[in-house]
Structure 1
Amino acid sequence: MTNEFTLRGVMLPVEDLDTALHFYSDTLGWTLRFRDGDRYASLDAGVTTIALAAPVEQPVEGRPALPVKVRDVARAVAALSDAGVDILLAPVNGPDEVRAAVRDTAGNIISLYAPLEAAAVSGGLDV
């Protein structure tokens, strides 16, 4: 099961994406990789990616999350549920990916996702 879960960085909650981007790119010197309007942005922080998420994109508002890429979100959620993890958000189609959110056994938030193209190839979800 571990080979199916790929940590993609850290997702930080922000209230104002422009202000946060100014700090992380101009002050810390991290390079913008992707931006989705005022909702979400990812930055290259060297060995990892830092995602900045406005409230609409936060799995649990105001809480950091670990974005974890999986091949099949529904299957990953089922396996984690069997392991006793709390499911916070059942798999749903987002703007660019299928996503779900869980709370690990220590209370940390994990945001599971798979690109919509990958989900469509593997059977996808009708949610």
Structure 2
Amino acid sequence: MQSVDLGQLDLGQVIYPVREMEPCVAFYRDVVGLQLKFRDGDRWAAFRAGAATFALAPGAGAAGAGATAAFRVADLAAFAAALAARSPSPVPAIARGAHELTLTLADPSGNAVILYQPLAKPAG
């Protein structure tokens, strides 16, 4: 059996199941601020997410069945302020963890979305 170097694998995309495409496309484009790069009606929507693609596809039943996308931002407080100006819903408070600041949202289909800013590592 040939060995595969897993260090050569790059995440290509994350796909979220959605109940209704249009409100979710609007949420990720207009509220979260991702750039829509491709849309195929109600069958598929793909957004630029750094080197990867964040995509939406029709899904049966409940969303959020196991996967959560986390988007790294340079300044979470500034991002949260801009988000509050774009969001029709109140923006939750930023939580401080041991290694990062996080802001957790839910899209119109109930999928969790985490925005995070790593905390500076202590010297030494």
State the structure with more CA Rg.
2
Structure 2-normalised TM-score?
0.40
Structure 1-normalised TM-score?
0.39
